[in-house]
């Protein structure tokens, strides 16, 4: 009988690996904080795509069924305020390089229409334009990030847009703004000079685009850059390191403040699979692409370091998130997908990566805000739900503008089909009040992780924790069960002296606060 027990224990270790019993020790040295986690890492992205703007954020000023302010849903305004959205990117995406901003100002009944060729071939009536977007940003307390049209626009068009929203004196553009009802300028700081110029922005070479960027950037401000614009170049597609090399080499440093990077998480690009009905193999593949963000940020940053050792130019990951097949019965061009615990895992590990690279990554924009891709909000008529991704970003917003604390640990492995990934992801910060926050993710689909957090020199009096978990990876919030997945207090976290111990359940996200 004793031999049978021994054999069972040996079999369990063989099948499940040492992580079943091992404890992961994470060293949290609060004395070594150097870099501030820029709040804009928690940014968002709203494109004229599917039901993100129309029938999502914007329901029209004459819609009496859904409470709104100037056509924007009040429940969405409240949810975005609660989320502490720091920056919002608009109007695209691919749509940006077909968008002519003057079509979206002035009396709505006189605005021209266009066909949104990129996303579903629908008619765009331009009823949601510059004033609507910038006023929304004011209401939710977010910095606007405007993406300019380089692919099909002109230098003067973008230069005029800057003057329209920013100039406070007498000029044709500021006079036009005032005539359209806005006396004071919005003072927009963040500007994208085109989008995905290697693809939908014009299929350009990096050398050609670098020269275009120089031209556009020059005419966006005066010689002294008195408007203090933050000009962001359309950056690399995933691991196109040559693109980053050319931009950093060929664009003078006084003309650029940021370089973008786009990377999405999926099973396979040509076979993305369902957003809510997926196998463990598909989950593992998705997490492989999500965790590749660490490699992408590291390698693109290394190229930037070569040309900008003082790290003046920021790496801006202005499109990231999960991308799957659209939900059955929806327009394929609308990119509407459900949002499960798999998406919570993508959000948790991605934000930890961005936090840990706060020296170079100073903005990131989740794609997208409402009803598109890895949305934080989904709507259906009068109904609105918050997704697991929303809850992760809300849990993590304690890191905004806090000082990054370096961590030291070796993650246990999440193993599947002979392959392995690091199971545990973490980042930590210290805010102005002295509170320490630690965010932890366990992506392992089956095994809990025992974690010990060593905080040398920290005499914490108490620890509080919140956790997001569910019974199945495929679980999601529906319009019938809107709070199936919701953060709850994590009671099993124990503080003793300078050590915190806990057991993190499979596919869960937790945020700890040490006071």
C-alpha 83/C-alpha 393 separation (Å) is 7
Identify whether residues 132 and 253 lie together within a single domain: yes
Identify whether residues 412 and 339 lie together within a single domain: no
State the average pLDDT over residues 162-191: 96
In 3D, which of 314, 311, 300, 286 has the Cα closest to residue 237? 300
* pLDDT of the residue at 458: 82
Is the Cβ–Cβ distance between 359 and 35 less than 8 Å? yes
What pLDDT, in 10s, does the model give residues 188-237? 999 999 999 999 999 999 999 999 999 999 999 865 555 689 999 999 99
Please compute, for residue 145, the number of CA atoms within 13 A of its CA located in the half-sphere on the CB side: 32
In a domain, 202, yes or no: yes
- Measured over the CA atoms of residue 137, residue 314, residue 388 and residue 393, the dihedral's sign is negative
Identify whether residues 84 and 148 lie together within a single domain: yes
How many other CB atoms are there within 10 angstroms of residue 155's CB atom? 16
Last residue of a domain, one of 400, 435, 462: 400
Identify whether residues 347 and 216 lie together within a single domain: yes
Give the active site residues.
196, 319
Instruction: Indicate the number of domains in the chain.
Output: 2
Identify whether residues 365 and 424 lie together within a single domain: no
The CATH number of the domain where 508 resides is what? 2.60.40.1180
In a domain, 230, yes or no: yes
446: containing domain: 21-33+406-514
DSSP 474: T
Is the Cβ–Cβ distance between 226 and 163 less than 8 Å? no
Identify whether residues 482 and 385 lie together within a single domain: no
Identify whether residues 411 and 396 lie together within a single domain: no
In a domain, 1, yes or no: no
Q: Is the pLDDT of residue 418 over 80?
A: yes
Identify whether residues 360 and 427 lie together within a single domain: no
What pLDDT, in 10s, does the model give residues 351-410? 999 999 999 999 999 999 999 999 999 999 999 999 999 999 999 999 999 999 999 999
Q: For all residues of the chain together, what is the average pLDDT?
A: 94
Q: Is the pLDDT of residue 77 over 60?
A: yes
In 3D, which of 13, 27, 9, 17 has the Cα closest to residue 451? 27
Last residue of a domain, one of 400, 429, 451: 400
What pLDDT, in 10s, does the model give residues 329-360? 999 999 999 999 999 999 999 999 999 999 99
pTM for the whole structure: 0.94
């Amino acid at each position: 009988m004793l031999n049978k027990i021994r054999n069972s224990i040996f079999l369990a270790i063989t099948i499940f690996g040492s992580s079943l019993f091992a404890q992961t020790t994470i060293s949290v040295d609060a004395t070594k904080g150097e870099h501030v986690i820029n709040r804009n890492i928690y940014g968002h992205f709203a494109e004229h795509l599917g039901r993100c703007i129309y029938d999502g954020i914007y329901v029209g000023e004459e819609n009496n069924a859904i409470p709104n302010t100037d056509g924007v849903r009040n429940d969405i305004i409240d949810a975005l305020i609660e989320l502490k959205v720091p920056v919002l990117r608009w109007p695209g995406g691919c749509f940006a390089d077909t968008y002519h901003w003057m079509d979206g100002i002035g009396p709505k009944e006189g605005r021209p229409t266009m066909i949104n060729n990129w996303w579903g071939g629908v008619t765009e009536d331009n009823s949601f334009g510059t004033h609507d977007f910038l006023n929304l940003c004011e209401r939710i307390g977010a910095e606007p990030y405007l993406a300019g049209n380089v692919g099909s626009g002109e230098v003067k068009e973008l230069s005029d847009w800057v003057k329209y929203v920013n100039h406070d004196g007498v000029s044709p553009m500021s006079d036009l703004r005032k005539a359209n009802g806005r006396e004071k300028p919005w003072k927009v700081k963040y500007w994208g000079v085109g989008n995905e110029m290697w693809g939908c922005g014009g299929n350009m070479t990096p050398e050609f685009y670098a020269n275009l960027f120089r031209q556009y950037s020059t005419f966006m401000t005066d010689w002294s850059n008195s408007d203090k614009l933050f000009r962001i170049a359309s950056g690399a597609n995933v691991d196109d390191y040559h693109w980053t090399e050319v931009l950093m080499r060929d664009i003078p440093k006084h003309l650029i403040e940021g370089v973008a990077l786009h990377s999405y998480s999926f099973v396979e690009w040509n076979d993305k699979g369902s957003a809510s009905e997926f196998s463990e193999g598909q989950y593992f593949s998705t997490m492989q692409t999500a965790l590749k963000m660490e490699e992408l940020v590291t390698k693109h940053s290394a190229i930037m370091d070569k040309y900008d050792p003082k790290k003046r130019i920021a790496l801006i990951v202005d499109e990231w998130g999960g991308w799957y097949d659209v939900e059955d019965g929806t327009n394929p061009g609308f990119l509407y997908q459900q949002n499960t615990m798999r998406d919570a895992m993508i959000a948790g590990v991605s934000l930890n990566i961005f936090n840990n690279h706060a020296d170079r990554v100073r903005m990131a924009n989740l794609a997208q805000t409402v009803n598109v891709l890895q949305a934080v909000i989904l709507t259906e008529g009068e109904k609105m739900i918050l997704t697991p991704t929303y809850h992760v970003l809300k849990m993590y917003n304690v890191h905004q503008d806090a000082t990054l604390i370096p961590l030291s640990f070796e993650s246990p492995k999440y193993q599947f089909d002979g392959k392995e990934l690091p199971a545990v992801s973490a980042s930590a910060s210290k805010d102005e009040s002295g509170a320490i926050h630690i965010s932890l993710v366990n992506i392992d689909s089956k095994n809990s992780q025992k974690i010990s957090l060593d905080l040398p020199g920290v005499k914490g009096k108490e620890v509080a924790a919140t956790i997001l978990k569910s019974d199945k990876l495929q679980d999601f919030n529906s319009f019938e069960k809107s709070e199936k997945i919701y953060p709850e207090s994590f009671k099993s976290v124990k503080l003793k002296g300078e050590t915190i111990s806990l057991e993190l359940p499979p596919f869960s996200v937790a945020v700890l606060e040490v006071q």
